[in-house]
Amino acid sequence: MQLDSTAAVRSASWRRIAAMLFCAALVAFACDDDDPQAPTEDGPPAVGLTDPIWEYDRTQGQSITGGYVYRGPSVAALVGKYVYADHSSRRIWALSYDGATASNEFLTTMPDGLSSFGVAEDGELFACGWNSVNATKLRGFSESGGVYTLTDAFPNLTFNQPVDLQNSGDGTDRLFVVQQGGIIRVFPNDPAVASTTEFLNIAVQCCGEMGLLGLAFHPDYETNGFFFVYYSLAGGTPWRARLSRFHVSGDPNVADEASEKILLEFNDREGNHNGGGMCFDDDGFLYLAIGDEGSGGDPYQNAQNREVVFGKILRLDIDQNVDTAPYYGIPADNPYAVNTWGFREEIFAWGLRNPWRISHDTTTDRIWVGDVGQGSYEEIDIIESGKNYGWDCREGMHDYLGPPDGPSPACPQ
C-alpha cells in the first residue's frame, strides 16, 4: 500500500494542525495530539493488549519456566495439559486450557532446582535440574492415584547447567542437552545409558542469564542436517547475541563446528533477559523468543517498539536463502512482512519481557510461552500472529506502572 501520496500527507498535516488548535483551546485538559497508538491513514492500525491465559503471584514463585503440552506415553493423566514450573520455588504445575478458560493443578516439586523442560521423539517429558554444578539430573514423571512423582530418568548421567533439552526428530531417539557454558551433549534415550558424546562445543559468554541458550533442529534434519542455536558471544560489553545455523558432521553425534552460518546478530546492552528459546510450527517456520534486552522495567522501552527485535517472538522462514546470507527469509504472512512503518519484518508477536522457554504443540498448533515477570506476576501466553502481549504496559493481567521509568510511551492510554 502506497502511503506517502501528496493527498495523504496533506490530509495528515491538516488533521495534525486541527488537533493542535483543538488542544490549544482546551488548556485545562491533558490533550495528546501525538498518540502513537492512534489509528491514522499513515500509521499502523492500533493493536490492543492480549492478557496471558494464566498468571501467578509471588506466593507461588518468582521466575516462570515454560514447558510443553504433554503428549507422552507414560502419564495418561497429563495428556493435553501444559506442564510448566517456577525456577525459584521449584514447583511444577499442569495447566488445562480449552480455548476459553484455564485451570491449574499442582504436580510436585523439583528437588534440586529447575531450568527447563524437553521432550523425546515419543513426546515423553523430562525436567532439567539446575544446581549450578556438574551434577544436574534429568527427571521424568510418573503418576499413581493422583500423586505425581519425579524419577531419575538417566541414573548414570549428570550435566552442568543445562538450559535446554531437544530431540533431533530424525527417528534416532536421541536427546540433546544444551549446557549454558557452550556445550551440547547427545545420548540415546535409554535409562541405562552410561555416557554422552559432545555434539557441539562453541565459545560463549557465560553465565548469569547469558550463554548458549537455545537449540532447535530443522524439521527436515534427517535429510539436511541443519540445526539452530542462539547464544551470547564471548567478549565484553556491549554484549552481542547471535542466532546461527550449523550442520552435522559425517558422525551423527558430532556437529561440524566450522559450518556456522549467522542468521541474526545484534548488540545487547544488558546481560539479562535474553530469552533464546526456539521451536518450529507445522509449516516449518522457526520461532525465536527474545527478551526485552534487560535491566528492569524495560528502560529502553523495547518490548512495545516494533522497530527492534527485543521483547519479541520472531518467525523466520529458514528454507529461504539456504545458501546465501542472511540464510532465512520472511514468511509472507508475517504480520509486518513488507510494512512501510520501519517495523522488523521478522516479528510475529510482541510485548514480551523475558520469554523463558517456548514450545509448539502440534496437536492443537498452539505456541506456548512462559514470560518471566518483573516483580509481581509470572505469566503463560499462547502466542498468535500480530498480538501484543502487554509488556511493559502490563505485567500479567495488571497495569504496570514502573519503576524505574514507567511503561513505554507507546502503551495504549
Residues engaged in binding Ca ion (CB under 5 A): 268, 270, 273-274, 293-294, 297-298, 389-390, 392, 405
Of 261 and 312, the one with the shorter C-beta distance to Ca ion is 312
Give min distance, CB of 397 to Ca ion, in A: 8
CA 112 to CA 136: how far, in whole Å?
A: 8
How many beta carbons lie within 10 A of that of residue 7, not counting itself? Answer: 8
C-alpha 282, offset from chain centre: 17
User: For 249, what's the count of Cα atoms within 13 Å in the CB-facing half-sphere?
Assistant: 10
Give min distance, CB of 383 to Ca ion, in A: 11
Please write down the long-range contacts of 381-384, taking CB distance under 8 Å and 24 or more positions apart: 381/50, 381/52, 381/53, 381/352, 382/53, 382/97, 383/287, 383/313, 383/348, 383/349, 383/358, 384/50, 384/349
Give min distance, CB of 54 to Ca ion, in A: 11
Q: Which single residue is written with the C-alpha cell 499442582?
A: 106
Give min distance, CB of 247 to Ca ion, in A: 28
Of 251 and 265, the one with the shorter C-beta distance to Ca ion is 265
**Torsion sign across C-alpha atoms 370, 372, 378, 384:** negative
Give min distance, CB of 27 to Ca ion, in A: 29
Of 107 and 229, the one with the shorter C-beta distance to Ca ion is 229
Strands (E), 202-285: 212-217, 226-232, 239-248, 255-268, 278-280
Of 81 and 273, the one with the shorter C-beta distance to Ca ion is 273
Give min distance, CB of 105 to Ca ion, in A: 23
Of 336 and 377, the one with the shorter C-beta distance to Ca ion is 377
Give min distance, CB of 37 to Ca ion, in A: 16
Q: Which amino acid is at 119?
A: V
Of 345 and 405, the one with the shorter C-beta distance to Ca ion is 405
Sequence-ordered alpha helix ranges (H) in 163-283: 221-224
DSSP three-state, residue 181? coil
Measured at the CA of 31, the angle between CA 29 and CA 32, to 5 degrees, comes to 160
Of 56 and 389, the one with the shorter C-beta distance to Ca ion is 389
